[in-house]
């Protein structure tokens, strides 16, 4: 599922259409009645972690001030220059369910009759947003044909442009569920709160995927920053020196920011460890499936030479492949 940098790119694509009225709708989703969006005005767009939020109001209403984080003109221009890229799966289904319970509401925007009707998008594997273009098949599917992906939602605007949403879940919200202090790409990201979480006596690869403290950080970012910081995935945070935790957090912020900037420039991401057989120094990479006993397990890649294990009483990680 797309991680924070990808969803930020999606938001920039959608922001082009803020202020425009929906003229026609389509799509395969059954989670909402797509006809409820007809003749509504797209009022605002926000991104929080791995979730995209779009606000709709009746077309006759005046647009209120936007509450989203400021985006530079250069970023906005770059953000609409190329199709969005695909990222890796998300990690905390229980956290998603909590957000859905907080966000879900049965009312369509017309029933509310006023501002504050937000549509929340959470993207699945290969989920994406495209502006003024449809996704085309680039390989044969399991049935042996070249069938194009089916969009979940298509919004055609009076201006003639359109937005297409693929492989995503949608729910109406009264307001976005957000904590900017936990968003790894937010200017309000709280370093102290994140460091406190990392100091816990849990494997750091578990903590990094906890969306309560690292919203938007997913499996790709987790693997890459642990390699950059030279920390074994199963090292307990309580065993790491404060300087190591600071460095790990710096890597998380810098890598996420660099990934976003590469997306805005239409460039691919150069990975060093994720899905690799060798690290950049030529050492053999190991792969394991790690996660809390009561949570979701995620594939993890690490170099045993560059990221040596720290004795912590939990033993060595069990490799799936080598």
Active site residues: 2-3, 50, 298
Among residues 320, 304, 315, which one has the least CA distance to residue 231?
Answer: 304
Sheet architecture: strand order including 153-157:
22-26, 153-157, 162-173, 117-131, 51-58, 40-48
Among residues 228, 217, 230, which one has the least CA distance to residue 256?
Answer: 217
- Helix and strand totals (H; E) in the chain: 8, 8
* Region of residue 100 (left: phi > 0; alpha: psi -120 to 50; beta: else): alpha
Among residues 52, 62, 294, which one has the least CA distance to residue 173?
Answer: 52
> Rounded CA gap, 33 and 228, in Å?
45
**Phi, psi values for residue 127, rounded to 5°:** -65, 145
Q: Which residue has the tokens 């799936």?
A: 320
CB-based contact 68:55 (threshold 8 Å): no
Q: How many CB atoms lie within 10 A of CB 147?
A: 10
> Rounded CA gap, 40 and 111, in Å?
12
Contacts 24+ apart (CB under 8 A), 266-273: 266/78, 266/81, 266/82, 268/85, 269/85, 269/220, 271/220, 271/224, 272/224, 272/227, 272/228, 273/223, 273/224, 273/226, 273/227, 273/301, 273/302, 273/303
CB-based contact 4:185 (threshold 8 Å): yes
> Rounded CA gap, 10 and 53, in Å?
10
């Amino acid at each position: 599922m797309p991680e924070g940098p990808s969803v930020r790119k999606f938001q920039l694509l959608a922001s082009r259409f803020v202020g425009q009225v929906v003229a026609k709708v389509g799509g395969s989703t059954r989670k909402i009645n797509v006809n409820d969006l007809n003749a509504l005005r797209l009022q605002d767009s926000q991104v929080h972690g791995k979730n995209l939020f779009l606000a709709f109001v009746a077309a006759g209403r005046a647009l209120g001030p936007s509450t989203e984080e400021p985006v530079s003109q250069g970023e906005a221009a770059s953000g609409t220059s190329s199709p969005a890229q695909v990222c890796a799966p998300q990690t905390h289904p229980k956290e998603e369910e909590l957000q859905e319970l907080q966000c879900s509401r049965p009312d369509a925007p017309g029933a509310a009759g006023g501002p504050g009707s937000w549509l929340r998008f959470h993207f699945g594997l290969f989920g994406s947003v495209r502006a003024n273009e449809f996704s085309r098949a680039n390989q044969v599917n399991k049935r042996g044909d070249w069938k194009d992906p089916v969009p979940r939602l298509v919004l055609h605007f009076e201006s003639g442009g359109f937005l297409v949403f693929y492989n995503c879940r949608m729910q109406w919200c009264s307001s976005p569920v957000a904590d900017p202090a936990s968003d790894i790409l937010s200017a309000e990201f709280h370093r102290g709160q994140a460091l406190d979480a990392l100091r816990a006596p849990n494997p750091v690869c578990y903590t990094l995927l906890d969306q309560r403290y690292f919203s938007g950080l997913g499996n790709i970012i987790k693997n890459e920053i642990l390699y950059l910081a030279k920390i074994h995935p199963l090292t307990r945070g309580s065993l790491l020196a404060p300087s190591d935790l600071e460095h790990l957090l710096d890597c998380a912020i810098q890598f996420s920011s660099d990934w976003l900037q590469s997306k805005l420039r239409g460039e691919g991401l150069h990975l060093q460890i994720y899905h690799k057989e060798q690290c950049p120094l030529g050492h053999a990479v190991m792969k394991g499936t790690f996660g809390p006993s009561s949570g979701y397990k995620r594939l993890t890649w690490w170099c045993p030479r560059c990221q040596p294990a720290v004795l912590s009483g939990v033993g060595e990680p069990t490799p799936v492949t080598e």
